[in-house]
């Protein structure tokens, strides 16, 4: 079930953001997808950081893109301050979040 959800999420990202078109035009570097996970309260397993700094959902996205022979780099973070910086380095965003983000800590 989790794999189906992750693959469905990846497919939605590709379809809704037109990454296929982006990849055809992208010759110098792989497309970069920011995968942002954050939970307030209960943290779902696919969004939990593993020892190597990845998540199950992020690994699923990366595997999906690799299986499709797409040059897409998945950058994972739970640090919301990334949105204070230069977002032009990313070609797409994937959010796996839950809760009230008006609170500074969760």
Total structural domains within the chain: 1
| Digit-coded pLDDT (tens) for 2-21 | 655 655 555 555 555 555 55
| Digit-coded pLDDT (tens) for 41-84 | 788 888 888 999 899 999 999 999 999 888 999 999 999 899 99
What is the per-residue pLDDT for 75? 95
Q: Give the Cα separation of 58 and 76 in Å (integer).
A: 7
Lowest-confidence pick of 37-41, 63-67, 84-88: 37-41
Which residue stretches of 51-104 are H helix?
56-67
Residues with Cβ within 8 Å of 99's Cβ and at least 6 positions away in sequence, in order, are: 38, 39, 40, 41, 106
What is the per-residue pLDDT for 104? 59
Confirm whether 106 is domain-assigned.
Answer: no
């Amino acid at each position: 079930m989790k794999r189906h959800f992750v693959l469905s999420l990846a497919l939605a990202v590709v379809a809704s953001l037109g990454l296929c078109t982006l990849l055809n035009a992208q010759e110098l570097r792989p497309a970069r997808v920011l995968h942002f996970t954050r939970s307030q309260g209960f943290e779902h397993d696919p969004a939990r950081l593993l020892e190597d700094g990845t998540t199950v959902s992020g690994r699923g996205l990366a595997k999906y893109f690799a299986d499709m022979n797409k040059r897409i780099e998945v950058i994972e973070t739970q640090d919301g301050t990334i949105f204070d910086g230069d977002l032009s380095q990313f070609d797409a965003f994937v959010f796996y979040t839950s809760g009230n983000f008006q609170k500074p800590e969760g």
